[in-house]
Amino acid sequence: MSAAPGWYDDPDGVPGRQRWWDGSAWGDLTQGGPTYGAGGSAYGGSAYGGPAYGNHASGYGAVATKPARTSTDVIGSPERPPWRDRPGLLPGLLIGGAVLVIVLLAVTLVTGRSADRVAGPGVPTFPTFPSDPTQDPPGTFPPGTVRIIDSDAGLSYAYLGEGWREVNFGQRPEMITTHGQYIVTQETTPDGGSFIAEVSSGPLAEQFVVAGPPGFPAAIESLTDSFRSNYYPAPNELDVLSSEPVTLDGAPGYLLRFDLTWDVAGYESTGERVALLLLDTGRERPAVVYISVPNTHAELYGIIDQVVASILVLA
C-alpha cells in the first residue's frame, strides 16, 4: 500500500498545519488545516456544511450512482501505476554524487525537516517512522487493551493482540480521521514504502456523497475504486466474494468482500483479501471499516470475520 497525493499533517509537527504530498515527495505548499476531534467538526453544525447525518436518518444529499460493477474487474496498467518513483532521485545521485549529499544535509539543517519528511505521509510509510527503516515504529497499544475505540466513527472492535500496532496515518482520502491497527508484512516495496495488513476505521470522507443506507452499495463501489487506485500495485484484478446489506449491533450497513490479485515485480504478495464496510452509527457521517490481509499472510484471513463480528456501536 502506498500513500496517495493530498494534504497531510505536517511532519514538522506544527499544530493545525498540513503539507502537500505529491505521491513521491513532500512539497513546499502548506495550509492551516482543521483539527478533528471526537464528536466534533471544525466547520460547525453539520460536519461539512450540508444536511446532518444522525439518528439513522437519510441526510447526505444526492445518492451516488455509477455503472454496475461486474464480479471481476481490472484496474491500472503496467505503464502507469497509481504511484510514481521519486522523480529525479537516482539521476541526481549519479550526477551530483557527494555534492548532492552535502546540499541535502544543508537543506535539512536550514529547514529543520527530518528524514521522515522524505518517507512520505499516511499509508504505508508512516510519517512517524524513525529514519532507520529496520527499527520498530511507535504505536504500541497499552497493556490490557482489548478493543479499538473509534469515537469519531462511533464504533469499536476487537484488538487483535500482540504485534498489532496503532495506526498513525493521519488524514487519508477515504476517511476524515483514521483509527485502528496494523502489522508490517513487507518492509520495503518498489516505491520505497512498506506493505501492511490493517484494520482501520473512520468517518466517511466528504468526497463520497451518499444519502443514507440506501446509498451505501453505490458509495462502497466508489470507496473500492479509491482504495485500489491509492494503495495497490497496478494492474490489479478484483474478484467479488460477497456484497450484501448487514445489520451490526442494531445499525444498518453494507459489507463488500473481495480479492485483489496482481503480478508486479518487487512485491512479495500477489494479492490481498479485503473487506469494506459502511455502517450507520448515528454520526454525521457513516463509519468506514477497512480490513486488508496480503496473501503472504493468508493464515490471517480469519480476522476479517472476527473483526466484523466484534463491531459494537458507541452510544
Q: What percent of the chain has pLDDT over 90?
A: 52
What pLDDT shows up at residue 28?
65
In a domain? residue 180: yes
Model pLDDT for residues 171-197, shown as the tens digit of each residue = 789 999 999 999 999 999 998 889 999
Mean pLDDT, residues 7-15: 76
Considering only 46-55, 104-113, 137-146, which range has the smallest mean pLDDT? Answer: 46-55
Question: CA 46, CA 248: separation in Å to the nearest integer?
Answer: 25
DSSP 5: S
Distance in angstroms (rounded) separating the CA atoms of residues 73 and 48: 33
C-beta separation of 116 from 129 below 8 A:
yes
Local structure of 92: helix, strand or coil: helix
For 257-311, what is each residue's pLDDT tens digit? 999 999 999 999 999 999 999 999 999 999 999 999 999 999 999 999 999 999 9
| Residue 91 banded pLDDT, cuts 50, 70, 90 | very low
Q: How far apart are CA 15 and CA 32, in angstroms?
A: 9
Is residue 14 a part of any domain in this protein?
no
In a domain, 298, yes or no: yes
In a domain, 6, yes or no: no
| 311: Cα within 13 Å, side-chain hemisphere | 35
pLDDT of residue 208: 95
Q: How confident is the model at residue 8 (pLDDT cuts 50, 70, 90)?
A: confident
Of 282, 281, 285, the C-alpha closest to 311 is 281
| pLDDT at residue 124 greater than cutoff 90 | no
Domain count, the chain: 1
pTM for the model: 0.62
Least confident of 23-32, 41-50, 73-82, 287-296: 41-50
**Widest distance between CA atoms in the chain:** 63
Tell me the sheet residues that pair with 34: none
Which carries the bigger pLDDT value, residue 304 or residue 103? Answer: 304
Q: Within a domain: residue 42? A: no
Residue type, 248: L
> Which of residues 68 and 291 earns the better pLDDT score?
291
In angstroms, the Cα distances linking 209 to 44, 133, 194, 225 are 19, 38, 31, 14
Provide the mean pLDDT of the chain. Answer: 73
- Cell numbers found for residue 245: 446489506
Grid coordinates representing 68? 454496475
Q: For the domain that residue 146 is a member of, what is the CATH number?
A: 3.40.1000.10
User: What DSSP string describes 257-276?
Assistant: EEEEEE--TT-S-SEEEEEE
Report the pLDDT value the prediction gives residue 169, as an integer from 0 to 100: 72
Residue 207 falls within a domain, yes or no? Answer: yes
Say if 173 falls within a structural domain.
Answer: yes
For the cut 70, the answer to whether the pLDDT of residue 79 exceeds it is no
Within a domain: 264: yes
For 297, the domain range is 59-85+121-313
